[in-house]
Amino acid sequence: MALQSLDILRRSATTTPSPGVRQTTEVAKLIDVSKCIGCKACQSACMEWNDIRDEIGSNAGIYDNPRDLSADSWTVMRFSEVEVEKDKLEWLIRKDGCMHCADPGCLKACPAPGAIIQYSNGIVDFHEENCIGCGYCIAGCPFNVPRISKKDNKAYKCTLCSDRVGVGMEPACIKSCPTGALVFGTKEDMIQHAEERIVDLKERGFSNAGLYDPQGVGGTHVMYVLHHADQPELYHGLPKDPSISPMVTLWKGITKPLMSLGIGLGVLVGFFHYIKVGPNEVEEESESEQQ
């Protein structure tokens, strides 16, 4: 049923270390954008499995539907029309959603204990019952993925179908993909699969084909095979070198403990001052003297 505490790598806002004796297999989702036809079967399957139904939106003249990720749409196909070379239009389609970073910015930024969990298989999961809806995870995410629900003020995003992976199944999106653009397995196998695809793409004239597994966030458990790996920005602004915002690192790294210590000391000093010295009362004599 549930993953046991041994399989938890990190919890948000928790300083006690997680048990780390067992070695579980790291999993990864590989998205081969060169095979994707933008059919959105993954979007459909995601909604169905996770029991989320977004509101019916409106057509904005492009294929993106819904227009953006939301608390009810955890994955969205992004369609970009770009001229990589002059007079050579390319239609680049990218499945957007949580990247399941090895060093998750959302988890680092989260102040609610246990609201964000990283399992040792690499999945970063939100536990909405512990979420306080502050939105720090959005600020901490280098890929702009989490969304706060207007219904319950809690943050939602892709879980990599942790409930399916937990019983040995692949995520719903992976299973549905009719072209095989989505593949799931151990991270090691996925890297190998990607390398084979890259060789193939290079033979077909995409000399800059490569794997997107950004090391700025410690690598990700959702990786892309891109035909233009030198310019990931072409794919609806996929960051070239993503990293956790320095504000988050600074706040969680040094500032917060120092500030907490300062506040604690302030309270303590105030308390003892009140007990020992008491409130500063002006005597009637001195007040009349002043006048």
Partner 1 sequence: MKVTRRQFFKICTASLGGSSLALMGYAPTEALAEIRNFKLERTTETRNTCPYCSVGCGLLMYSMGDKAKNAKSTIIHIEGDPDHPVNRGTLCPKGAGLLDFVHSPSRLKYPEVREAGTSEWKRISWDDAFTRIAKLMKADRDSNFVAKTADGLTVNRWLSTGFLAASASSNESGYLTQKIVRNLGILAFDNQARV
- Stretch of 145-153, 163-171, 183-191, 282-290 lying at the interface with partner 1 (CB under 8 A): 163-171
Query: In whole angstroms, how close is the CB of 40 to partner 1 at the nearest point?
Result: 5
Contact 38, 65 (CB under 8 A): no
CB of 183 to partner 1, least distance (A): 12
**Neighbouring residues of 145: CB distance < 8 A, sequence distance ≥ 6:** 69, 96, 97, 98, 99, 106, 157, 158
User: Least Å distance between CB 66 and partner 1?
Assistant: 13
Shortest CA distance to 219 belongs to which of 32, 79, 29?
29
Q: Which of 49, 63, 79, 206 is the binder for partner 1 (CB under 8 A)?
A: 49
Helices (H) and strands (E) in the chain, counts: 9, 11
Pick 159 or 209: Cβ nearer partner 1: 159
176 is a contact residue toward partner 1 (CB under 8 A): yes
Q: Which residues contact 131 (CB under 8 A, 6 or more apart)?
A: 112, 115, 154, 155
* Contact status: 101 vs partner 1 (CB under 8 A): no
Contacts for 132-136 with beta carbons within 8 Å, 24 or more apart? 136/106, 136/109, 136/110, 136/111, 136/248
Neighbours of 185 (CB within 10 A): 17
Please say which residue, 133 or 166, places its beta carbon nearer to partner 1: 166
Q: State yes or no: residue 172 binds partner 1 (CB under 8 A).
A: yes
The residues, ordered by sequence, that sit 6+ positions from 149 with a Cβ below 8 Å of its Cβ are: 71, 72, 155, 156
Of 192-221, binders to partner 1 (CB under 8 A) are none
The sheet carrying 116-119 orders its strands as: 8-11, 116-119, 124-126
Q: Are 52 and 206 in contact (CB under 8 A)?
A: no
Does 35 contact partner 1 by CB under 8 A?
Answer: no
At a CB cut-off of 8 Å and minimum separation 6, what does 242 contact?
A: 142, 143, 214, 216, 217
Identified binder of partner 1 from the candidate list 36, 177, 201, 248, rule CB under 8 A: 177
For residue 190, state whether it binds partner 1 (rule: CB under 8 A): no
- From the CB of 28, what's the least distance to partner 1, in Å? 18
Closest CB to partner 1 among 179 and 207?
179
> Which span sits near partner 1 by CB under 8 A: 34-42, 133-141, 186-194, 279-287?
34-42
Nearer to partner 1, 41 or 139 (CB): 41
CB of 276 to partner 1, least distance (A): 7
Q: Which one of residues 34, 43, 75, 120 is an interface residue with partner 1 (CB under 8 A)?
A: 43
Q: How far apart are alpha carbons 262 and 23 in whole angstroms?
A: 40
Instruction: Summarize as ranges the residues that interact with partner 1 (CB under 8 A).
Output: 1-3, 5, 8, 11, 39-45, 47-49, 53, 113-115, 117, 125, 127, 129-130, 159, 162-164, 166-167, 172, 175-178, 180, 271-272, 275-276
